[in-house]
Amino acid sequence: MFIEAKQINKVYFDKNNKPNTVLKDIDLSIKKGEFVSILGPSGCGKSTLLSMIAGLVSSTSGEIIVDGKKVVKPGKDRGMVFQQAALFPWMNVTENVMFPLRKEMSKKEGLERAQHFLKMVQLSNYPSHYPHELSGGMQQRVSIARSLAMDPAVLLMDEPFGALDEQTRSRLHGQLEEIWIDTKKTIVFVTHSISESIKLSDRIIVMGTRPGTILTDITVDIPRPREQHRQQIAALEEQIMGLLKTEIDKVIDEEQAYEAGS
């Protein structure tokens, strides 16, 4: 297996030193080149799990192996795209994309590489623009180009289109699918949108909350492009909705109990 999470547990201690289990006994394996979505309601620990694969957050117990190596810290073999583009405002588009390359290649090589990936996200006309001059969708595309430019084995995406409007999101879904087909990268995509996960991924890992566990692992075998298979999509959507409903009810019940208690 290319990415493997073994018996991951994550426990936070809150202000009163009470343990709070975020992730419980997570076992997950992902094949090379797979597009996997991690889907779940907010608070299920899906972003925490992704940050663990990135090496930004450590687990309380268990280990994560990526390409045969145990994850202990962040590395260029795992690119990450966040919900906010996280572009550096003091650098223009090209300089941002070249940021991860500056130590390992000459300026000229880096520039060529940046241009290549900016073309891939269809932003080759904006090399000298600064982030504040771009729309949210364009910023996110630069961020994707920046991650791809360091040629990671895995692309980790944490609700990358969550802050965008519906139309932009839909266009970027198409672009991401093309990029994935072109580059054959392994993508782990965190989202709370059921339709987004069905539209994009080979596999959907559905997570439940409190504590965060994997409820089920669904293989999506709807042929691409998927827009043409409305019925299959709708059926799958309904199936997942049913699964998540009990989870969402659980969150709401708990919140109401908390409010009643306080």
Partner 1 sequence: MKPAVKRIIFFAALIVFWELGSRFELWHETILPSPVSVYDSLVAGFADMTLVYDLAASFRRLLIGLVAAVIIGTGVGILLARSKTADETLGTLVLALQSVPSIVWLPLAMMWFGLGEGSIIFVVILGGTFVMILNVRTGIKNVDPLFIKAARTMGSNGLDLFIKVIIPASVPYFVTGARLAWAFAWRALMAGELLSSGPGLGYTLRYASDFGNMSLVIGVMIIIGVVGAIVDLMIFQRIENNVLKRWGLET
Q: Kindly list the residues in this chain that would bind partner 1 in the complex (CB under 8 A).
A: 54-56, 73-76, 78-80, 82, 84, 86, 88-90, 99-100, 103, 130-132, 146-147, 150, 156
Torsion over CA: 100, 102, 106, 112 (sign): positive
Q: Which whole-number Å values give the CA distances from 85 to 131, 142, 145, in the listed order?
A: 9, 8, 11
Minimum CB distance to partner 1, residue 65 (Å):
18
Minimum CB distance to partner 1, residue 255 (Å):
26
Question: What is the token pair recorded at 27?
Answer: 């076992």
Q: Which whole-number Å values give the CA distances from 255 to 34, 215, 243, 252, 261, in the listed order?
A: 36, 21, 20, 5, 10
Minimum CB distance to partner 1, residue 79 (Å):
7
Residue among 126 and 130 whose Cβ is closer to partner 1 = 130
Minimum CB distance to partner 1, residue 146 (Å):
7
Residue among 65 and 86 whose Cβ is closer to partner 1 = 86
Minimum CB distance to partner 1, residue 87 (Å):
8
Residue among 87 and 220 whose Cβ is closer to partner 1 = 87
Residue among 79 and 212 whose Cβ is closer to partner 1 = 79
CA distance 111 to 98: 7
User: How many other CB atoms sit within 10 Å of the CB of residue 128?
Assistant: 9
CA distance 251 to 40: 12
Residue among 54 and 194 whose Cβ is closer to partner 1 = 54
Question: How far out from the chain centre does Cα 174 lie?
Answer: 16
